[in-house]
Amino acid sequence: MLCIITEKNRYGYCVIMIKENRQKADLIVGIQWGDEGKGKIVDLLAQNYDIVVRYQGGHNAGHTIVIDNKKYALHLIPSGILNPKAINIIGNGVVISPDALIEEMEQFENLENRLFISDSAHMILEHHILLDQAKEKLRGKNAIGTTGRGIGPAYSDKVGRNGFRIGKLRNLDQLENEIIDYLQQNRPILESLNIDIETSSIRKKLEFYKEKLEKYIINTTHYLWKAIEEGKKILLEGAQGTMLDIDHGTYPYVTSSSTISAGACIGTGLNPKDIGTITGIVKAYATRVGNGPFPTEEFGEDGEKLREQGFEFGTTTGRPRRCGWFDAVAVKYASRLNGCDNLALMKLDVLDGFEKIKVCTGYRLNGKEIDYLPNELEKVEPIYREFPGWDKSKGVRNFEELPENAKNYIRELEKLVETKISLISTSPDREDTIRI
């Protein structure tokens, strides 16, 4: 829709601007190292959206959502699946393990016309998973600590133009030949890593994938463009977090996709002008799984307490997460990078019972104080500001009812990261959420 706006410029002339006033897609993005609690927020917000879209990552992501005492483990399917009215889309930027997706789909009864998969999304096949695990072993003490799900090799093949788009399931003869050719060409590398793929069973597997998935595969970019034109409300759901972004994260200790808001355009086919409100999801403290720099990591009692109170164990791999304090330098950087309009502060209640709570407000690098994120993040020493703790924020649903020290903590965080906190979560329960 076009709308005409008249206003005066500084010379007093009247100018007429024609502005497009059309539907935009809102976006949810992880601000730290993933596991910020995006699942709860997407589940909460999905109630108000017609379409929910995943735009990057694969089944390395994961969260559990409990509804009416039934647990759902989601890795690839957007959280909107739990809203019976929402359409769910796995965008072209996602890498899909057909085996993992089929298993996940089995949790739901009828997904027809509720789930669509981009025909341009790339598949994670058996050799990608074996390559991921073998390469991690070779890296030894420099291992990235990947989830071992084949994410890196699948994205590498995509960028190297050797990948397999899921839309190719429409033509099994061609796809089977291409996979066999690929395995032949890469035999020296695969053999050197003791990877042996049984080619005689490929056809059967592909037939199974086709039978289970073909009816869901469409051109999702075209679908989304039409949906926007029709005024449908769209929510884009990011996976992992900003600090794991392939370009802007703590390289090489990152995942292999563009986890930031800009990745939503690449991973869906929407353009930057299609993006509406961007909400960053951030925990009231910080965690990281896998290796790589983490300036505010706590190795002592406080780290252990955060892990226990926050139940910080990976949903996908079960690994204990590394825990530490809120890093305001990293969050401010991530907020700027993503263009966050606001933040959702998750797991505030996990800080209940701490006498003192620390927040990193700057770094010391080579003896100098800095307030930005350097490439040599492993060399920085955090500069902390201490806040008095509080006892009970768990389950609070109204900002005014939060302990005074918790309110103060939130207000100070907003100043430090220069972004408004508009939502606070005080327990995993959907209802225990404060909107301000």
Helices (H), 353-403: none
Closest CA to 375 of 258, 252, 242, 263: 252
For ligand IMP, the closer CB: 27 or 406: 27
Smallest distance, ligand IMP to C-beta of residue 293, A:
11
| 151, 190, 235, 340: which one binds ligand IMP (CB under 6 A) | 151
144 scored as a contact of ligand IMP (CB under 6 A): yes
Q: What is the C-alpha separation between 372 and 277, in angstroms, rounded? A: 25
How far is residue 334 CA from its own chain's centroid?
A: 13
Q: What is the C-alpha separation between 424 and 400, in angstroms, rounded? A: 12
242 scored as a contact of ligand IMP (CB under 6 A): no
| 195, 244, 281, 350: which one binds ligand IMP (CB under 6 A) | 244
Closest CA to 37 of 326, 309, 283: 283
Number of residues that bind ligand IMP (CB under 6 A): 19
Count of CB atoms within 10 A of residue 13's CB? 8
79 scored as a contact of ligand IMP (CB under 6 A): no
75 scored as a contact of ligand IMP (CB under 6 A): no
**Residue 357's beta-bridge partner residues?**
387
| 83, 97, 120, 147: which one binds ligand IMP (CB under 6 A) | 147
Q: What is the C-alpha separation between 185 and 178, in angstroms, rounded? A: 10
Angle at the Cα of 26 from the Cα atoms of 25 and 31, rounded to 5 degrees: 140
The answer to whether the beta carbons of residues 240 and 259 sit under 8 Å apart is yes
Q: Which of 59, 63, 75, 122 is catalytic?
A: 63
145 scored as a contact of ligand IMP (CB under 6 A): yes
| 38, 54, 149, 233: which one binds ligand IMP (CB under 6 A) | 149
| 31, 35, 377, 410: which one binds ligand IMP (CB under 6 A) | 35
Q: What is the C-alpha separation between 119 and 48, in angstroms, rounded? A: 27
Q: Which residues contact 185 (CB under 8 A, 6 or more apart)?
A: none
Closest CA to 384 of 285, 315, 305: 285
| 37, 39, 91, 152: which one binds ligand IMP (CB under 6 A) | 152
Residue owning tokens 């050799």:
127
Smallest distance, ligand IMP to C-beta of residue 128, A:
11
**Stretch touching ligand IMP by CB under 6 A, among 9-17, 141-149, 162-170, 345-353:** 141-149
Residue in the shown chain whose Cβ atom is closest to ligand IMP? 290
For ligand IMP, the closer CB: 188 or 318: 318
What H or E segment, with its residue span, contains residue 392? none
Give catalytic status of residue 63 as yes or no.
yes
80 scored as a contact of ligand IMP (CB under 6 A): no
Q: Which residues are catalytic?
A: 35, 63
Residues that bind ligand IMP (CB under 6 A): 33-35, 60-61, 144-147, 149, 151-152, 239-240, 244, 255-256, 289-290
